Amino acid sequence: MAPLTPSPKIKLSRLRDIGWSSWDPIGLMSAGKRWDEDDNRSFADEYDSYLIEAAGRLRRGASDADVVDFLMSIEADHMGLGEQPDARARAQSVVAAIRADEELWTYPDK
């Protein structure tokens, strides 16, 4: 029996770069700011669980449309923000950026 391949790990800093630049449904980040600046560290992890779930779903083979719907549901229902006019475009941007980032996942040495 061949040894199991270790599961990849996500680079949280890269995922936060994607999330904060493309999504931020609550509007916590001031324009031109970054999540890793001292003033923003207190809420830097605000969207981590949603973004990790979205990235994981894509990695496991979910369609872009399903993950866009997931992010829109989080925003509209879980966060209670209702459906915002730009919600779909922001969610699509997140999904496209996750798909495009070839360095988002790291693979431990065997």
Are 35 and 55 contacting, i.e. CB atoms less than 8 angstroms apart? no
Query: What is the pTM assigned to this prediction?
Result: 0.90
Does position 23 have pLDDT exceeding 90, yes or no?
yes
Residues with Cβ within 8 Å of 8's Cβ and at least 6 positions away in sequence, in order, are 59, 105, 106, 107, 108
Are 75 and 84 contacting, i.e. CB atoms less than 8 angstroms apart? yes
Identify the band that residue 6 occupies on the pLDDT scale cut at 50, 70 and 90.
Answer: confident
